[in-house]
């Protein structure tokens, strides 16, 4: 049994999707890394990752990683990998300018965004990654304005070497993407879908199942953009209805049949668009 980089005994919720993602990431990248940032609900649990770690606060997305990678460069220690982790609210809202700046300058580190689709650590407030219709404490009637912001594509359009989406339910795909990213120089971005039983109001045992249904229904698509070229890395033979995904989650409990139908149309259009750009260059 290989030694785990992340020790058990942390304070993350039972069934936390982010906890699963963290394990997959750190068991792949190993120990010759410096971690910047906290990852999912970072301050909510004891940080038991056995890697050197530097942290700032919510809006400082990627900043410490920029400083660390520049310092390592000037000191001649480019063997050490630099990993940056951020939540979705941090990356997509308050820290977007920072994330964009690092991407635009092609700073040399891997930025992971742990997407649990809201500001979960502070008690389930909506972010621009919250899907349409979802309940959060700041959208108690369900998010009515805007769809989930397409952050991975926004980052890809900065012209960075590598962008990928990943899911805890598809660990082999996730690991392959991390390994590919580790071998590329420059700014790499991996957007990880992490179900949150506490915020999404689902059974703790269903986190992986829900992550799987998100991909199988088209709510979250697995693809990469390498050197500008899009490649869908997993194509479900047949998509399951969006309703199969939403019915397991209390946060979608207020949706009426016409809302689900609207979501289905939206998802269908997104998948059609994905198929059209599959194999094409976006920059």
Please choose, out of 26-34, 116-124, 142-150, 231-239, the segment that lies near other proteins by the rule CB under 8 A. Answer: 26-34
CA end-to-end span of the chain? 43
We find the least distance from the C-beta atom of residue 137 to other proteins, in angstroms, to be 23
Q: Tell whether residue 207 is a contact of other proteins (CB under 8 A).
A: yes
- Which part of the chain contacts other proteins (CB under 8 A), choosing from 18-26, 128-136, 158-166, 247-255? 18-26
Nearer of residues 15 and 89 to other proteins, judged by Cβ: 15
For residue 205, state whether it binds other proteins (rule: CB under 8 A): yes
Quickly tell me which residue has 């890697």 as its tokens: 51
193 or 266: whose CB is closer to other proteins? Answer: 193
Residue 244 binds to other proteins (criterion: CB under 8 A): no
Size of interface with other proteins, in residues (CB under 8 A): 64
Q: Which of 25, 34, 263, 267 binds other proteins (CB under 8 A)?
A: 34
Give the chain as a DSSP string: -PPPSB-S---SPTT-HHHHHHHHHHHHH-SSEEEEE--TTGGGS---B-S-EE---TT-TTHHHHHHHHHHHHTT-TTSEEEEEEEHHIIIIITHHHHHHHHHTT-SSEEEEEE-SSBTTTTSB--TTSPTT--BTTBTT---S-----HHHHHHTTT-SEEEEEETT-HHHHHHHHHHHHTS-S-EEEEEE---HHHHT--GGGHHHHHHHHHHHTSS--EEEETTEEEES---SSPPPHHHHHTT-GGGTT--HHHHHHHHHHHHHHHHHHHHHTTSB--
Stretch that binds other proteins, among 14-22, 221-229, 252-260, 267-275 (CB under 8 A): 14-22
**Do 26 and 5 meet the contact criterion of CB atoms below 8 Å apart?**
yes
Residues 125-184 that bind other proteins (CB under 8 A): 168, 171
Shortest CA distance to 41 belongs to which of 17, 5, 6?
A: 17
Specify the stretch interacting with other proteins by CB under 8 A; choose among 17-25, 179-187, 236-244, 249-257. 17-25
DSSP state of 168: T
Q: Does 208 bind other proteins (CB under 8 A)?
A: yes
The one segment of 9-17, 144-152, 178-186, 238-246 that binds other proteins by CB under 8 A:
9-17
Q: Which member of 132, 184, 201, 209 binds other proteins (CB under 8 A)? A: 209
Q: Tokens 């040399």 identify what position?
A: 108
What track of x and - describes contact with other proteins for positions 40 through 69 (by CB under 8 A)?
------xxx-xxxxx-xx-xx--xxxxxx-
Is residue 101 involved in binding other proteins (CB under 8 A)?
A: yes
Binding site for other proteins (CB under 8 A): 1, 4, 6-12, 14-17, 19-20, 23-24, 31-34, 36, 46-48, 50-54, 56-57, 59-60, 63-68, 70-75, 77, 80, 97-98, 100-101, 104-105, 168, 171, 197, 203-209
């Amino acid at each position: 049994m290989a030694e785990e980089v992340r020790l058990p005994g942390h304070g993350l919720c039972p069934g936390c999707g982010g906890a699963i993602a963290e394990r997959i990431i750190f068991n792949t990248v190993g120990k010759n890394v410096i971690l910047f940032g906290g990852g999912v609900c970072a301050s909510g649990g004891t940080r038991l990752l056995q890697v050197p770690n530097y942290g700032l606060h919510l809006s400082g997305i990627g900043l410490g990683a920029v400083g660390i990678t520049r310092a390592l460069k000037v000191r001649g220690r480019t063997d050490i990998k630099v990993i940056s982790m951020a939540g979705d609210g941090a990356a997509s809202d308050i820290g977007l300018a920072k994330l964009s700046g690092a991407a635009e300058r092609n700073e040399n580190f891997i930025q992971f965004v742990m997407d649990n689709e809201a500001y979960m650590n502070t008690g389930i407030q909506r972010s621009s990654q919250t899907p349409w219709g979802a309940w959060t404490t700041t959208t108690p009637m369900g998010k009515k304005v805007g769809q989930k912001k397409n952050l991975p594509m926004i980052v890809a359009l900065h012209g960075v070497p590598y962008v990928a989406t990943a899911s805890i339910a598809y660990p082999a795909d996730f690991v392959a993407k991390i390994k590919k990213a580790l071998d590329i120089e420059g700014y790499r971005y991996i957007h990880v879908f992490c179900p949150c039983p506490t915020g999404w109001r689902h059974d703790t045992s269903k986190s992986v199942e829900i992550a799987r249904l998100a991909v199988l229904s088209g709510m979250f698509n697995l693809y990469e953009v390498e050197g500008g070229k899009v490649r869908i890395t997993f194509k479900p033979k047949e998509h399951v209805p969006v309703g199969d995904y939403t019915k397991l989650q209390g946060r979608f409990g207020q949706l009426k049949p016409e809302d689900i139908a609207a979501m289905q149309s939206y998802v269908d259009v997104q998948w059609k668009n994905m198929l059209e750009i599959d194999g094409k260059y976006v920059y």
